[in-house]
Amino acid sequence: MAYFFPEGSQFAFSTTLAASVTVTAITNANPGVATATAHGYANNDEILLASGWEDANNTIFRAGSVAANTFNLTGLDTTNTSFYPAGAGVGTARRLSGWQSILQVLSVQSQGGDARFTQIQPLAARNAFQVPTGFNPSSFTMTLGYDPSIASFQTLIGLSRTLAPLAMRITLSGNGAIYFYGYISISEVPQMQPQNPLTIQAAVTNLGRIISY
């Protein structure tokens, strides 16, 4: 058991994706094992998976137990065939690299990701009940210190203006890590308050699941 704290966290993003590797099968196991002929991956490589399984699509996993034509998708439990139908998880995998630091992150506020329910009121019943139907979309809002001279800052502005997706990683003190993939939208108008540094807001919306290690 461990407790994690935000102090010491490092933030990074990547848009460097290797060529797609075809995933011809993923087992129903914990963790799921992907088959991809001559994939070339190594243990702990960070992989963006596109899959027919909703809970594995547009999601970043670490490769584990790597063999010539297979690798584990660490953190992906596919044993429930109702949610992970056998044979339906095929797709592609792309290795991430070229991580760039996001500097001067002052705070992070998260939104969404909570359970979504549908209320049902049968006519023959006096009491309604709720059925879980999934999860609300998740997003982050980062407050960044304003410094347009930082090269990575300008890169993020470009990604924001062109609506290009990117991978993001938060490395926590204590070696924990959080991965997500989506879009970043940055306001270029700095916020100004007396006796405070200039800041800007960067909103990150996720396309897939957030995976933590």
Reduce the secondary structure of 16-37 to three states and give it as a string.
EECCCEEECEECCCCCCEEECC
The structure tokens 């049902």 sit at 120
Question: What integer pLDDT is reported at residue 3 of this predicted model?
Answer: 85
Per-residue pLDDT tens over the stretch 122-159: 999 999 999 999 999 999 999 999 999 999 999 999 99
CA distances from 58 to 10, 68, 85, 86, 179 (A): 22, 24, 18, 19, 11
The dotted CATH code for 16-97 is 2.40.30.180
Tokens of 73: 């998708």
Query: What distance in Å separates the CA atoms of residue 166 and residue 17, rounded to the nearest whole number?
Result: 10
Say how many C-beta atoms besides its own lie within 10 A of residue 10's C-beta.
15
Q: Structure pTM? A: 0.91
The structure tokens 């993001």 sit at 168
CA distances from 150 to 97, 146, 153, 154 (A): 20, 9, 5, 7
CATH topology of domain 100-212: Elongation Factor Tu (Ef-tu); domain 3 (2.40.30)
Tokens of 71: 């690798």
44: closest CA among 10, 73, 15? 73
Sorted by sequence, the CB contacts under 8 Å of residue 27 that are 6+ apart come out as: 33, 78
160-197 exposure pattern, b = at least 16 Cβ within 10 A, e = fewer: beeeeebbbbbbbeeeeebbbbbbbbbeeeeeeeeeee
- The amino acid present at 90, given as its one-letter code, is V
The strand pairing partners of 96, in sequence order, are 17
Query: Which residue ranges make up each domain of the chain?
Result: 16-97, 100-212
pLDDT-flagged residues of the chain (< 70) = none
H or E element: which one contains 161? Answer: helix 151-162
